[in-house]
Structure 1
């Protein structure tokens, strides 16, 4: 009996020893290895080392085409770069260069396949021609180097359609133009917003359209025929109240509650009993305090960016707001 007990005891000790040996092997070979690897990773992170960005090499290859004046191939290479490596550090610069190339092609007589010659007919006006050709008055004037909207029957004008969609990304504060649609078109150009502020009740994602285009000088609306139009504050007015694309103005107009949301009136420096008289007053141009005195909501852009958008965006253009 005692021998049997001794045998059982020795068997139990053997099993326990085997378990401990297996546990030791697992710890040293598996857990220990993972600990070493994690330590090496932390050490590498401490030295700010990172894997090479393959997009940078693709970007350099695209720039070789552009520097050799092969803009078409360079543009294609940049598009391939963004498609293959959307998170590359070269992405912002690639989008900027694509945008500049696309704008040059849009107004080029040779590179724009949609460009056509339009002969002015009796009774034509710039607005009528723009509507018939799905373009804008400002685009026609820029494409033809015009300083006036005066026309004569028989005049030749270069025209081309403007078929864009706008995407405002709140998180990155960017405004993207897409040619055609986002689903079936292609990225055209990106602008960096100075500020994006949604009006009350508007939440992203949202969809709206450009309801109107307006230009304001010292609180008064001006048309493209007016010499003051060049220096006027441009607005792309969204269908949703308070959601406009615009620049930081010299004179800071406010939305006059007695007018429609698409017609901003001038700001005043004090209270006035006469609403219409107050609307004719303006803030001094040198009284510049950033975003103060202008609508609290909307998408605020650099003046040169809103000028460009104002030229190539038509009313009823779709606008999407993304988170």
Structure 2
């Protein structure tokens, strides 16, 4: 018998041994423990973790010291503690996690409201420069041209620079400018309109009324914005602009977002928001911003 034949016989015996061992291990795990070396390789779980009686399980479930099984509430409690200590960034991180990871938690609506207030305070504060720039006015520039350059609006520039009326800008003047790259998410089922910056939640607003045409899922853009006072149009540079009612017009098909004070005279059609909420959305959006109805 040649050496090569002996090698092939030995290899075949090894394969058969491995197959037999595998079959015995499978029997040991799925059917009945075999004991001996198999128990050393894969111990019997019943011996490692002793079973509990039904009475013991019932007592554990009825105990008033049951562990907290709602991670959303636990995270909210931690965020509340951080807010009390003035650790705003850490608190916002916890609250944002609730909004994104535990949207079904009972604390999620409150978390969204608090996160929105923190975000808005930073966005509208000229002292908080993240996402903002300083523009030095050059000869021949206008406020309208500066707004177009930075994808923002005259209204937003005036707000960030504490201008109550249209100013005369001079070369060398410094203006805080902020690109308005937000998008609107309209959710009829949740009765809300929310403001997003990419994938980052910014602020949510409750909707008072949805017209039937505003519930069909689609993507669109803000076609135009307007301000109305006593039935006439008011321009952003007017002294009357602050007191005027803001209107956002969405295309494909045409849809309005406007304010309603809850009185008997309800505007016809569109999406109706509280006046203060409409003011914020109008301030933070521009023509061309994306809109999604989901």
Instruction: Output the TM-score relative to the length of structure 2.
Output: 0.73
Q: Supply the RMSD in Å over aligned alpha carbons.
A: 2.4
1:66 & 1:157 partners in 2: Cα distance? 32
Instruction: Output the TM-score relative to the length of structure 1.
Output: 0.66
Is the partner of 1:237 in helix, strand or coil?
Answer: strand
> In the TM superposition, what is the alpha-carbon distance from 1:176 to its structure 2 partner?
0.9
1:198-245 Cα deviation digits (max 9, x unpaired): 33xx76211111111100011100012222211111001111354111
1:222 & 1:90 partners in 2: Cα distance? 41
The runs of at least 4 consecutive aligned structure 1 residues that moved more than 3 Å come to 108-112
Partner of 1:314: 286
Cα separation, partners in 2 of 1:236 and 1:111, compared to 1, 3 Å: same
2:210 & 2:71 partners in 1: Cα distance? 33
Partner of 1:166: 184
2:231 & 2:126 partners in 1: Cα distance? 37
Cα separation, partners in 2 of 1:232 and 1:249, compared to 1, 3 Å: farther
Is the partner of 1:316 in helix, strand or coil?
Answer: coil
Pairing of 1:135-284 with structure 2 (within 5 A): 135-150=152-167, 151-180=169-198, 185-199=199-213, 204-248=216-260
2:261 & 2:237 partners in 1: Cα distance? 20
Partner of 1:274: none
Structure 2 residue runs of 5 or longer lacking an equivalent are 1-57, 63-67
Cα separation, partners in 2 of 1:249 and 1:213, compared to 1, 3 Å: farther
Pairing of 1:28-43 with structure 2 (within 5 A): none
Partner of 2:125: 108
Structure 1 residue runs of 5 or longer lacking an equivalent are 1-39, 45-50, 251-287
Conserved in 2, the CA contact under 8 Å of 1:242 and 1:298?
Answer: no
Conserved in 2, the CA contact under 8 Å of 1:206 and 1:320?
Answer: yes
2:151 & 2:165 partners in 1: Cα distance? 20
Partner of 1:300: 272
Cα separation, partners in 2 of 1:139 and 1:88, compared to 1, 3 Å: same
2:129 & 2:273 partners in 1: Cα distance? 27
Which of 1 and 2 has higher RCO (CA within 8 Å, sep 6+)? 1
1:22-41 Cα deviation digits (max 9, x unpaired): xxxxxxxxxxxxxxxxxx9x
Conserved in 2, the CA contact under 8 Å of 1:135 and 1:161?
Answer: yes
| Counterpart among 64, 67, 87 of residue 84 in structure 2 | 67
**Number of residues of Structure 1 aligned to a counterpart in Structure 2:** 231
Is the partner of 2:240 in helix, strand or coil?
Answer: helix
Pairing of 1:115-134 with structure 2 (within 5 A): 115-134=132-151
1:58-82 Cα deviation digits (max 9, x unpaired): 1010111112111111111111222
Conserved in 1, the CA contact under 8 Å of 2:154 and 2:237?
Answer: no
